[in-house]
Amino acid sequence: MNKDFLCLTDWSRDELEQIFNLTRELKDKQKRGEAHHLLKGKTLAMIFEKSSTRTRVSFEVGMFQLGGHALFLSSSNTQMGRGEPIKDTGRVMSRYVDGIMIRTFSQAAVEELARCSEIPIINGLTDSYHPCQVMADLFTVSEHRDNWRDLTYCWIGDGNNMAHSWINAAAVFGFELRIATPHGYAPDAQIIERAREMGARITLTQRPVEAAEGAHILNTDVWASMGQESEQRERAEAFRDFQINQALLDYAAPDSLVLHCLPAHRDEEITDEVMEGPHSIIFDEAENRLHVQKAIMATLMG
């Protein structure tokens, strides 16, 4: 089994489904109030070069519930912020802690950290991928639909790190994925090509209705991610027809479900009506970041 959690395609379908099985077990134990200290005495370093709400809270609380301890490390108050090479950070941290979760910009930096560390590295988000989030998304769908592997999923919006993670998920699990993005905002062509070589069934379109028609799962993200704030006005114009709203839902399957990784800009990429409506499982999805990441940490560090 892989020692790091950097990208979904590094793992097999069976390995990821084992993580889902452990997630169910740990979530059930928590709901029953049963202790599950699988990482008693273990420590996780959490390195943040990008701001966060859900990632920090879910990992920190998760380590506490597993009987361990989490350390918050910001680049602004560590030597990484003053130019210490990431390979030096990895070597030193390997002698202090039992695992590292890093939320940063460059996927290459995360991969270098993994190469230079003797402890598990977890990708908490990069500009390329967000594997923990898509695992929480799929686990949430599995709670609501037993046939989750056989459903049609669609992504509406930017071809960003979340779109890339969904592409990887389609390659590993084999479900159909449709992606609707404006012209010029498609996902990375190499990531799509690699997924298709693995057997992924991916349809690209510039028409949201084409992606949503008959789909079981609709998913989106903000139009301008962290670091793209200067493009907000330009992106708002490009994405104005790429909103998940009731009109788009009417094209989807009658029992369709809606996901959003949060934070959401309500009434931009998704309407307030849909977020609060009967199709939304967005807050179940947010909760499951905690449970899935506990299973990931326990798998890697236990």
**Contact indicator for 240, 207 with CB cutoff of 8 Å:** no
Asked if residue 133 belongs to a known ligand binding site, the reply is yes
Asked if residue 54 belongs to a known ligand binding site, the reply is yes
Please state, in angstroms and rounded to a whole number, the distance separating the CA atoms of residues 68 and 156. 38
The DSSP bridge partners found for residue 153 are 177, 217
Asked if residue 289 belongs to a known ligand binding site, the reply is yes
Which residue is it, tokens 């991969």? 111
Judge whether 261 counts as a catalytic residue.
yes
Judge whether 266 counts as a catalytic residue.
no
Asked if residue 80 belongs to a known ligand binding site, the reply is no
Active-site residue among 7, 98, 133, 137?
133
Angle at 173 between CA 293 and CA 39, to 5 degrees: 20
Active-site residue among 4, 164, 216, 261?
261
Active-site residue among 36, 65, 130, 154?
130
Asked if residue 52 belongs to a known ligand binding site, the reply is yes
Judge whether 289 counts as a catalytic residue.
yes
Asked if residue 131 belongs to a known ligand binding site, the reply is yes
Judge whether 154 counts as a catalytic residue.
no
Angle at 51 between CA 61 and CA 154, to 5 degrees: 85
Tell me whether residue 82 is exposed, middle or buried, using C-beta atoms within 10 angstroms of its C-beta: 0 to 12, 13 to 18, 19 or more. Answer: exposed
Asked if residue 71 belongs to a known ligand binding site, the reply is no
Active-site residue among 103, 178, 260, 291?
103
Token code pair at residue 24: 């169910």
Active-site residue among 36, 235, 289, 291?
289
Asked if residue 161 belongs to a known ligand binding site, the reply is yes
Asked if residue 55 belongs to a known ligand binding site, the reply is yes
Judge whether 183 counts as a catalytic residue.
no
Query: Amino acid letter at 280?
Result: S
Q: Which residues in 178-193 are b (16+ Cβ under 10 Å) and which e?
A: bbbbbeebbbeeebbe
Annotated binding-site ranges: 52-55, 79, 103, 130-133, 161, 221, 225-226, 261-262, 289
Catalytic residue positions, numbered: 103, 130, 133, 221, 261, 289
Annotated binding-site ranges for L-ornithine: 161, 221, 225-226
Annotated binding-site ranges for carbamoyl phosphate: 52-55, 79, 103, 130-133, 261-262, 289
